[in-house]
Amino acid sequence: MGLYICEFEITPPEDATQMWGVWPFGLPGATEGASFDDAVAMAADWLLLTVEAAHEDGRVLPRQTLGQKPRHGGQVVAVAVENDAQPDEVTLSEAAIIMALSEDRIQHYWKEGTLNGHVVEGKTYIDRQSLNVLMDMFEAEES
C-alpha cells in the first residue's frame, strides 16, 4: 500500500455565488468545493483519482515537496491518500523520475547499497521503501 501526500492551496470564493478553489502544488489541474471542508474533501478525491490514473497509465508521479507557501492568497493544506495500486518497487528509470535524478545516479546509489533492488530479465527494480529513505535523507540535508 502506498501513501501519497500533496499540498493544495485552497482559496475562498470572491462572492457567495462562487466555489472555493483547490489548486495542487506540483501537479496540473484543479478542483473546487462548496465550502472549505468540501474543498478539502474534493482535494482528497482529486488526488486519489490522479494517483490511480497515473498508475493505470504506467506513469510515476514525483514525490511532492512539502512546506509550500500560498500563491493566490489562500491556505495551504496537506492531503494524503493511500493507494493499494502503488507498487512496492519501481524501475530504475521510474526511480530517476521520482527523485528528479539521472538514471546513472540512481544506479550508483543502488550499486553502493544505498538503494535496495534487484534485476529481473535485465531490468533493474528499486525497492520503493529504500527510495523513500533516500528521499528523506535528501530532505534532511536541505533543512
Q: What angle, 0 to 180 degrees and rounded to 10, lies between the N-to-C axes of helices 92-99 and 128-142?
A: 20
Query: How far is it, in rounded angstroms, from Cα 52 to Cα 54?
Result: 5
Q: Please tell me the predicted confidence (pLDDT) of residue 52.
A: 84
- The secondary structure of residue 59, as a DSSP letter, is -
Query: How far is it, in rounded angstroms, from Cα 3 to Cα 83?
Result: 6
Q: Please tell me the predicted confidence (pLDDT) of residue 85.
A: 59
- Can you list the positions of beta strands (E) in 1-143? 2-11, 20-24, 31-33, 75-83, 89-91, 117-120, 123-127
Query: How far is it, in rounded angstroms, from Cα 13 to Cα 85?
Result: 35
pLDDT in tens, 9-18: 999 999 989 9
Closest CA to 76 of 1, 5, 136: 5
3-class SS of residue 92? helix
> What's the sign of the alpha-carbon dihedral 122, 119, 134, 5?
positive
The pTM for the full model equals 0.62
pLDDT in tens, 53-77: 887 776 777 778 899 999 999 999 9
Phi and psi based region of residue 29 (left: phi greater than 0; alpha: psi -120 to 50; beta: remaining): left
Positions of the chain with pLDDT lower than 70, given as ranges: 1, 58, 84-87, 143
Cell reading at 6: 500533496
